[in-house]
Structure 1
Amino acid sequence: MAGPFFKVVVSDLARKPGLMGICAGFELGEWRADQLSKLLFQSLPDFCLRYSEYQSIDAENAAERLGEAARKVYQTDAYRNRGEFGELILHVALKKIFNSVPAISKIFFKDSSNHAVKGFDAVHVLPTQTGLELWLGEVKFYQDIAKAITDVCKELDAHFEREYLREEFLLIRGKIDEAWPHAGKLHKLLDESTSLDEVFDVVVVPVLLTYNSPTTALHDRSTEAYLSALTTELEKHYASFTSKNNLTHVEVRLILFPMREKKLLIDALHKRLENYRCL
């Protein structure tokens, strides 16, 4: 199920909520921040561009499109405090681990350089034999896991209130690219005439929480000792999340992503993407 980059440390989606713990691993004694930034970079176009724009990429306009995608993320110099990085990690994790398909690009619909787009942090779908699963993702790109858990649980409570959902579905429908193959089905699912009971039957809520991991900081290889210690750490944070999570009427999947240090990844992304802003 997972792509070749992420190592799945824990996977138990039969739990309620489901649990998955993933890590970036190590190379030559270093946590793979730069390699992860490269992986995220490769998905920048389909994260930032509308479906029609992404489909129009060819050999002649690839560099231009990539530059456009980079500029959409870096509209200001306040990149260290913005949530776009976390949303990009969530976007890539959903594609690589669960094979979901992005439905809309939130970054495309940024209203200005100083205001982040509100709402769910990812809107993906997963086509199945019986129809579409609607994946409404939340992410906290934090250093402190305790704060990440507290904040995301409050957000989950707010985002699944009836009025909030109806407003969000209306906004999502207005952002769907009509050329996207699943446009018609998603329009129908999110229509106000469709009962939320029917929607909740096919909703999956992936919750990605990053944090600076003491265990990851103490190791430099993916040994059995590391994976065992990390599993214990992940289970502790899962228990904390479960004790605070009130969202039980839809399927929640907690994805925990321990890092050696958040700053390492931010710096690697900034260095890689800065070169493409001027394309």
Structure 2
Amino acid sequence: MTNKAIPFGSDLLFEVYVNQTNFRGLSVGYELNEFRYEALTDLIFDALPDFALTYKEKITFGVANCRQKMRRAAKLIYQSDKYKKRGEFGEILLHAVMRDYFGSIPAISKMYYKDGSNETVKGFDAVHIVPVHDDLELWLGEVKFYNSISNAIRDVVKELNAHTNKDYLRDEFLFISNKIDDSWPFAQKLKDLIDEKTTLDKVFSRLRIPVLLTYDSQIVRRYRQACNNYKKDLIDEIHKHHDTFRKNNLPKNIEIVLILIPLEEKAKLVDKLHKKLKVWQEI
């Protein structure tokens, strides 16, 4: 970890089954013989305001306006009953993991720039930075909040190759630069790094792409407790999916950090998240 601060306490929720430089395998495990849906839901909602609100909205967050801002954050996610295949909750989960495990700081809130309440925002799923001495690393996240690991790998590999294309990156950097709040402490350093005059060679040396994939796990479904056999079988499963991911044609000269989070049943988790979102939208 690059930062001792743990904003959302993910380290208390997740067990880390694989901890390598560019590969993490995380699981919430069980409580009283049940998969920990509620705990994972709570983590995502703990991170929701930090994910959805702008820098100015967050620094003015206080006792007098917290209810209003929490409701606003919830409404920015979506306001639709067609939620089964939406990916925003996966983006919030990626946000929390990046903040807690890699010490990142969000640069912009892409939710704020939706054209409509139920529109999706194109481009990278997270735009964060990590301060390193007097410089910055740029962390551009991708997430596939899926139930199928094979589909998640297939789709994210396509996006990784498309999103690291020179023209695409230049367009994305222009979008990001236009949305950076000038009062944010790292505004000018990030604008300089992604300026069109800065060579992409310099950007790539400071670029990290965390890729978070969820999936319905046969191992998680098979067990009810995090016993030794569960741990062994889950580690084997996670490594197998990591090997499959790395065998694909991935972008060259860019550091990709794979984060795998196996679930019992993604659809059940999404139903719980949707119900809680509706409550937050009415607080």
Bin for the TM-score computed over the shorter chain:
over 0.9
Q: Which moved more, 1:90-99 or 1:70-79?
A: 70-79
Letter in 1 for 2:61: I
Structure 1 portions without partners, runs of 5+: none
Q: Kindly indicate whether residue 282 of structure 2 is the aligned counterpart of residue 274 of structure 1.
A: no
Q: Kindly indicate whether residue 105 of structure 2 is the aligned counterpart of residue 113 of structure 1.
A: no
Select the residue among 11, 14, 22 that pairs with 2:19.
11
Aligned pairs for 1:136-175 within 5 A: 136-175=140-179
| C-alpha displacement of 1:130 | 4.0
Moved over 3 A (4+): none
Aligned pairs for 1:81-92 within 5 A: 81-92=85-96
Counterpart of 2:4?
none
Higher relative contact order (CA 8 A, sep 6+): 1
Deviations 1:117-142 (A, max 9, x none): 10001011111114111001100000
Select the residue among 187, 195, 217 that pairs with 1:213.
217
Counterpart of 1:52?
56
Structure-1-length-normalised TM-score? 0.96
Q: In 2, are the aligned partners of 1:34 and 1:269 still within 8 Å (CA)?
A: no
| C-alpha displacement of 1:265 | 1.4
| C-alpha displacement of 1:225 | 1.1
Q: Kindly indicate whether residue 165 of structure 2 is the aligned counterpart of residue 193 of structure 1.
A: no
Q: Kindly indicate whether residue 42 of structure 2 is the aligned counterpart of residue 38 of structure 1.
A: yes
| C-alpha displacement of 1:245 | 3.6
| C-alpha displacement of 1:88 | 0.8
Letter in 1 for 2:71: G
Counterpart of 1:229?
233
Partners in 1 of 2:90 and 2:269 — Cα distance? 11
Counterpart of 1:242?
246
Deviations 1:17-39 (A, max 9, x none): x2110111211111111111111
| C-alpha displacement of 1:161 | 0.5
Structure 2 portions without partners, runs of 5+: 2-9
SS, match of residue 261 in structure 2:
strand
Counterpart of 2:135?
131
Counterpart of 2:26?
22
Letter in 2 for 1:126: V
SS, match of residue 172 in structure 1:
helix
Letter in 2 for 1:261: E
SS, match of residue 282 in structure 2:
coil
Counterpart of 2:71?
67
Partners in 1 of 2:245 and 2:134 — Cα distance? 31
| C-alpha displacement of 1:78 | 1.9
Partners in 2 of 1:175 and 1:77 — Cα distance? 29
Partners in 1 of 2:74 and 2:249 — Cα distance? 35
Partners in 1 of 2:267 and 2:101 — Cα distance? 24
Partners in 1 of 2:125 and 2:148 — Cα distance? 19
Q: Kindly indicate whether residue 261 of structure 2 is the aligned counterpart of residue 257 of structure 1.
A: yes
Partners in 1 of 2:135 and 2:100 — Cα distance? 21
Partners in 2 of 1:134 and 1:245 — Cα distance? 22
Partners in 1 of 2:90 and 2:44 — Cα distance? 10
1:152–1:82 Cα change, 3 Å: same
SS, match of residue 13 in structure 2:
coil
Partners in 2 of 1:250 and 1:173 — Cα distance? 21
Partners in 1 of 2:15 and 2:100 — Cα distance? 11
Partners in 2 of 1:207 and 1:82 — Cα distance? 17
